[in-house]
Structure 1
Amino acid sequence: MFDLDRWQEIWYTIKHNKSRSVMTAFGVFWGMFMLVCMVGAGSALKNGMESTIDGFATNSCFVYDQQTTEPYKGFKKGRNWSIQNEDIPLLLKGVPEIQYLAPVLFGGQGANNVVRKDKSGTFNIKGNYPSYNKIEENKLIYGRYINDIDIAEKRKTCVIGERVSEVLFGKNVNPVGQNVKVMGIYFQVIGVARSISQVNLGGRGEESVVLPFTTMQQAFNMGTKVHFIAATAIPGVRVKVIEEKINQILKKQHNIAPSDKAAIGGFNIEEQFTMFLYLGIGIAVLIWIVGAGTLFAGGIGVSNIMLVTVRERTKEIGIRRALGATPRTIIRQIISESIVLTLMAGIAGLMLGVGLLSLVGLVLSQTDSFFQEPQISFAVAIVSLVILLIIGILAGLVPANRAMTIKPIEAIREE
């Protein structure tokens, strides 16, 4: 039942001792403000990491050839070898856990290697399969990506990056159907792409020209060599499983010692992503430990001041006890004062923290910052207020127990 007199008394007590109330509440206010800011900063860091890998398959690995470091079957160490076209069907057959497999080529790193009429630029040249767009996704602004027919018929088509399109054709111009000269050979533009992820192999998608893998091999006399292989695992399978199987098949196919760990290079995106995930969890746990510790420190301050308040109101409490106030009434009064003071300070800190995060988020949105959208969720705000409520109750228990030890007769006699 709502007791108006009790809440008026609580409000009068807080107003009557303004300086003490402010100093008492500041610890809780600052603790909540710091917790909100730290959680927001952690959220901005998490959003930044997620945006970095957004659009990039986190269940992927990349494999490429390196010099051997061990002799094997009559071959000396230090031998150069390369992944070949015929390795691709072997891998698809031998590793059923592979979801997507894409051989990739790089080339054309000369000055002004892409030309259209009197305009030119130096860009990254890649030879891809359609499946590679499932691993490093690009958003198509115009047209389409390379398809299986381009590969099978070795068509002279290309997908150019957004920046390439702007340099050669101008902004907001659809170049699909136009021709560009790539390393001296004409290709027809079938699409304009923009990278989604900030993780890019062989250069940003906006500054790249993608050719059909088979066309690039034939047009530029690259034989059957593959520069590296990108692969993803089917759902539920660890990437390390397919990575190890790919290495085993390549070593057997190219007469490389099974124990030679340096002959095949590569990196596992899943492991990197897991590391980031654990880092994010660790940061979140640290933030909550520090924030909760700061809040509890503020709660201790509230408890200490409430003890002083109880001591100053000894005579008042004694009179109320003598007039028939029950222990439950006294305890409830003291704890209520503690809760109100704690919640008022905490909500003020929460509001200021959220306001600051909104301001910082607005500033960051105007820049190309790694940190993005610092904010706290509604659930975090509710949890924070629940923690405050618990702190307020705990902070009032000690003073309330102290009040119950006061004997009415001695309290009335005390001046």
Structure 2
Amino acid sequence: MRLDLDTYKEILDTITRNKSRSLLTGFGVFWGVFMLIALSGGGQGLREMLQNNFAGFATNASVIWAQPTTKAYRGFNKGREWSMDTKDIVRLRHQVPELDVISPMIFGGRRTTTRGTHTFSASTIGVTPDYARVAAPTLYYGRYINDIDMKQERKVCVIGKQIYKNLFPEGGDPCGKTIRVDSTYYRVVGVNYSSGHAVNFGGSAEETITMPESVLRKVYNRGTAVDLMAVTGKKGVVMSTIADRMRTTLARAHSISPEDTEGVTVFNTEIMYAMLEGLFQGVNFLIWLVGIGTLISGAIGVSNIMMVTVKERTGEIGIRRAIGATPKMILSQIIAESIVLTAVAGMSGILFGVGILQLVEMACTTDGMVMAHFQIDFWTAILSTMVVCALGALAGLAPAWRAMSIKPVDAMREN
């Protein structure tokens, strides 16, 4: 069958002969493709939103903190309160050489922050510059805490997004300006736009003031205490393989049972990332299962309608056969009609799905920044188109085979 202009006109005439039936038949395919695109793009956006909660946090990291003991050990009853100190940094460095970054953190609690007439209650934390290698900040303005800030105990700070919006409602770069935390003044050196809703220490990152650990330690008289230890492994090190050694190192130094997994809590982020990855593998499988299932049901509808169409055109097909049309020509004609119907409906579904996803993406824009991209990639669209065309060809096989089996004499008699 030659695909020329006359052929396309004939296919279009056949499809539009019964507009309502063709429209309802194509809607099944349209809806199936739309569901596949919408679910795929929505799943991608949801995945990105969840990943943003962990954005910047190292995948090979562990977080260690102290809790009341749950086991009696060396004459101490369970339930004993204890805390880490700066000597634990040296212990971990010497006894667990697989560690790369060891960053202590201390919390200053919720503090009243003031600039002029503007006031905000913010969390305060003290960190070392290495903490940026554990949880990379998203700096909208300025810089992060550096080594000179630590050594010279500079009263500088990096503020979160909500603090910036409340204390600097006029906008602009706040770096170099001062804010007051309780009775102490600090110079702003950076604005951190990280959200990190799933990984927060001491409070939401958007409402946190980060300052040099050495400064917070002195201002709030924290001595040598360490509230939390964030560590990362060297390249190729699996954190779960050294978690017990880290726990044992700290437990022995503080007379805690090495088997007390709650007293010395070691949380590996690789577990969290593995769970997230497993979750989205299941979601992606479900999306394609639902989408392909809907497409197949639409294709079955196309096949049934084409079967009805072939039966209605029995006389026409008989005349074609009588004047020399070969079975191959009849087969090509029916399959082409099926492919065109499904392709047009499928492409409409893709365009409509992409349009809806674009509107959802626009709704997820904050401060001019897209929080998640609810879109499908180019190859997903190509694959969807190929699947639609393939289903269109399959849907036309049974009707085309029936049309081929029609004998000219029987068709003329029926006509």
TM-score when normalising by structure 2: 0.89
Aligned residues: 412
Residues 45 and 371 in structure 1, CA contact (< 8 A), matched pair in contact too:
no
2-side partners of 1:176 and 1:302: how far apart? 64
1-side partners of 2:157 and 2:366: how far apart? 33
Residues 339 and 392 in structure 1, CA contact (< 8 A), matched pair in contact too:
yes
Range with greater deviation from structure 2 (64-73 or 380-389): 64-73
C-alpha offsets along residues 337-369 of structure 1, whole Å, 9 cap, x if unaligned? Answer: 111111111112222222222233333336999
The alpha-carbon distance between structure 1 residues 267 and 408, as it changes in their structure 2 partners (threshold 3 A), is same
Structure 1 residue 398 displacement after superposition:
0.7
Matched ranges for 1:158-307 at <5 A: 158-161=157-160, 163-164=162-163, 171-172=170-171, 176=175, 180-184=179-183, 186-189=184-187, 191-199=189-197, 200-307=200-307
C-alpha offsets along residues 372-412 of structure 1, whole Å, 9 cap, x if unaligned? Answer: 33222221111111010110111011111112222222222
Match of 1:383 in 2: 383
Residues 158 and 192 in structure 2, CA contact (< 8 A), matched pair in contact too:
no
C-alpha offsets along residues 190-243 of structure 1, whole Å, 9 cap, x if unaligned? Answer: 513223232332123443332322333234332211101011223333332343
Range with greater deviation from structure 2 (261-270 or 387-396): 261-270
SS of 2:215's equivalent? helix
Matched, 1:92 2:113: no
C-alpha offsets along residues 52-82 of structure 1, whole Å, 9 cap, x if unaligned? Answer: 2222323322111112122222322222221
Matched ranges for 1:7-406 at <5 A: 7-109=8-110, 112=112, 114-115=113-114, 121-161=120-160, 163-164=162-163, 171-172=170-171, 176=175, 180-184=179-183, 186-189=184-187, 191-199=189-197, 200-365=200-365, 372-406=372-406
Matched, 1:5 2:3: no
Residues 157 and 187 in structure 2, CA contact (< 8 A), matched pair in contact too:
yes
SS of 1:105's equivalent? strand
The alpha-carbon distance between structure 1 residues 23 and 149, as it changes in their structure 2 partners (threshold 3 A), is closer
SS of 1:123's equivalent? strand
What letter is aligned with 1:93?
A: H
1-side partners of 2:309 and 2:182: how far apart? 84
The alpha-carbon distance between structure 1 residues 340 and 127, as it changes in their structure 2 partners (threshold 3 A), is same
What letter is aligned with 1:65?
A: A
Residues 361 and 370 in structure 2, CA contact (< 8 A), matched pair in contact too:
no
2-side partners of 1:162 and 1:347: how far apart? 42
Structure 1 residue 308 displacement after superposition:
1.2
Residues 251 and 257 in structure 1, CA contact (< 8 A), matched pair in contact too:
yes
SS of 1:126's equivalent? strand
Range with greater deviation from structure 2 (131-140 or 380-389): 131-140
2-side partners of 1:365 and 1:58: how far apart? 27
The alpha-carbon distance between structure 1 residues 118 and 4, as it changes in their structure 2 partners (threshold 3 A), is closer
1-side partners of 2:291 and 2:383: how far apart? 12
SS of 1:372's equivalent? coil
Residues 105 and 125 in structure 2, CA contact (< 8 A), matched pair in contact too:
yes
Residues 362 and 370 in structure 2, CA contact (< 8 A), matched pair in contact too:
no
Residues 83 and 227 in structure 2, CA contact (< 8 A), matched pair in contact too:
yes
Residues 157 and 190 in structure 2, CA contact (< 8 A), matched pair in contact too:
no
2-side partners of 1:310 and 1:351: how far apart? 30
1-side partners of 2:20 and 2:176: how far apart? 76
1-side partners of 2:207 and 2:139: how far apart? 14
What letter is aligned with 2:190?
A: V
What letter is aligned with 1:364?
A: C
Range with greater deviation from structure 2 (264-273 or 221-230): 264-273
Range with greater deviation from structure 2 (402-411 or 295-304): 402-411
The alpha-carbon distance between structure 1 residues 169 and 24, as it changes in their structure 2 partners (threshold 3 A), is closer
1-side partners of 2:312 and 2:14: how far apart? 12
1-side partners of 2:291 and 2:173: how far apart? 52
Structure 1 residue 145 displacement after superposition:
2.5
1-side partners of 2:263 and 2:360: how far apart? 48
What letter is aligned with 2:277?
A: L
SS of 2:210's equivalent? strand
Structure 1 residue 168 displacement after superposition:
5.3
1-side partners of 2:138 and 2:187: how far apart? 16
Match of 1:412 in 2: 412
2-side partners of 1:160 and 1:367: how far apart? 17
Residues 365 and 371 in structure 2, CA contact (< 8 A), matched pair in contact too:
no
Structure 1 residue 293 displacement after superposition:
0.7
C-alpha offsets along residues 229-260 of structure 1, whole Å, 9 cap, x if unaligned? Answer: 01122333333234333212112222221222
Structure 2 residues without counterparts, runs of 5 or longer: none
1-side partners of 2:303 and 2:297: how far apart? 10
TM-score when normalising by structure 1: 0.89
